[in-house]
Amino acid sequence: MHTIPPLNALLDVPLPALASGRGPLTGETLAVKDIFDVAGMVTGGGNPQKAAESPPAMHTAPAIQMLLDNGAKLAGKSQTDEFAFSLLGQNAHFPHPVNPAAPDRVTGGSSSGSVSAVAGGLVTIAAGSDTGGSIRAPASFCGLPGLRTTHGRITLEGALPLAPSLDVFGWFAKDIALYEKVGAVLLDADAQDFKLTRPLFIPLLEHFLIGEAEDAAYRKMYATVCAHLGQARSARQPTASMDDLYLCFRQIQGFEVWQAHGAWIAAKDRGLGPGVRERFEYSSKIDRTTYDTQTRRRDLFRSELGDLLRDDGVLILPTVPGAAPLAAAAFDDLQTYRERMLHLLCLSPLSGFPQITLPLGEVHGAPFGISLLGPKNSDRALIRLGRAILDTSARAI
């Protein structure tokens, strides 16, 4: 049994006197990633200078307010990777949040404090965001369900942006039943009654698994999903290679990141942490022509994936290449893992379609998730499908 050190998940700041309504989330506690405005609190975005220069918010972000109005009680702001521009959960300015399911491994980021707070039992719900994987990767690493929502379906008003055409609202919850309850609060009814009955897989995606142990663990999860959905059929690969799609994601993200934060970053030395500093430098060099070219590539990919899924398809894929990296791993090794991980994670943000990761497996004694990617606006159908698979799996144990 793990002895878990202090989680370092919640920021040590005074809470405002916010009213909490009554509703389906009454009795639940909420942590809020420090990119969302909460009235009376500073939004620091994981950077001390940003926090020092920002006045307390006048209003609470509408998505957060919905959770409060439906009964959730604010427990505090949760730590985020710097400007949400990371996937590993290691902010150079703060003690790193702990992965309660595997304390020697990273939590994943950038919703690092949020996932740690839920996985460690500090709160039952935590708000986060996902641009390149910041809900899905931490959820897989810490043994929780996690949905990247359809782009634009939940408002991001009152949130610090990273790359607006890729950013989405997300959340963690202590179990899939509560996850579905939160989804019912935040998401309107799906645009149609999606019947996700046509399972698909793209063989190339499985090549990003790290090794034999990861492949064996994934095969076991895959069999569990197929036992529920039926045997999946092999689907064609997109026109663009996976390397091309990764570059497409990276350059679209980088251009938009610099538009959002470049002037502030360039004004003086902001003390950015390693990795984040280099990503901002890379972002500053991406020009409009490159961005427009990659936007056209994204449009083609979105169209191809939409044609593949139609309104009944669900793509089964590894969420990440394996278990969370060891927290003590060398910086270069962590960056290599990050790039490999983004090859898997970039499909949902490039398409704008929803993807849910389910905590069905483990490898090397640590959690390991499998993902289902569905058609645009099939968010609640994906959650229902994920719950059915997890419930069936639990009964089989």
Query: What backbone torsions phi and psi does residue 317 show, to the nearest 5 degrees?
Result: -155, 160
User: Is residue 348 among the annotated active site residues?
Assistant: no
Catalytic residue of the set 110, 111, 351, 393:
110
Catalytic residue of the set 33, 50, 73, 376:
33
Identify the CA nearest to 133 among candidates 373, 306, 365: 373
User: Is residue 140 among the annotated active site residues?
Assistant: no
d(CA 339, CA 382): 26
What's the angle, vertex CA 174, arms to CA 172 and CA 175, rounded to 5? 100
d(CA 308, CA 212): 29
Helix, strand and coil percent figures for the chain, each rounded to 5 = 40, 15, 45
| Sheet architecture: strand order including 73-78 | 73-78, 29-33, 125-130, 168-173
Instruction: Specify the DSSP element, H or E, that contains 238.
Output: none
What distances in angstroms separate CA 390 from CA 69, 93, 144, 158, 386, one per listed residue? Answer: 29, 37, 11, 33, 6
CB-CB neighbours of 296 under 10 Å: 10
Three-state SS letters, 207-234 = HHCCCHHHHHHHHHHHHHHHHHHCCCEE
Catalytic residue of the set 78, 114, 116, 134:
134
User: Is residue 110 among the annotated active site residues?
Assistant: yes
Amino acid at 155: T
Identify the CA nearest to 200 among candidates 240, 167, 235: 235
Instruction: Specify the DSSP element, H or E, that contains 5.
Output: none
Q: Where are the alpha helices (DSSP H) in the chain?
A: 48-53, 62-69, 112-119, 136-142, 176-186, 212-229, 242-267, 276-284, 288-309, 331-345, 347-351, 379-396
d(CA 4, CA 338): 25
d(CA 239, CA 163): 24
Sign of CA dihedral 106, 107, 111, 113: negative
d(CA 129, CA 119): 17
Positions marked active-site: 33, 110, 134
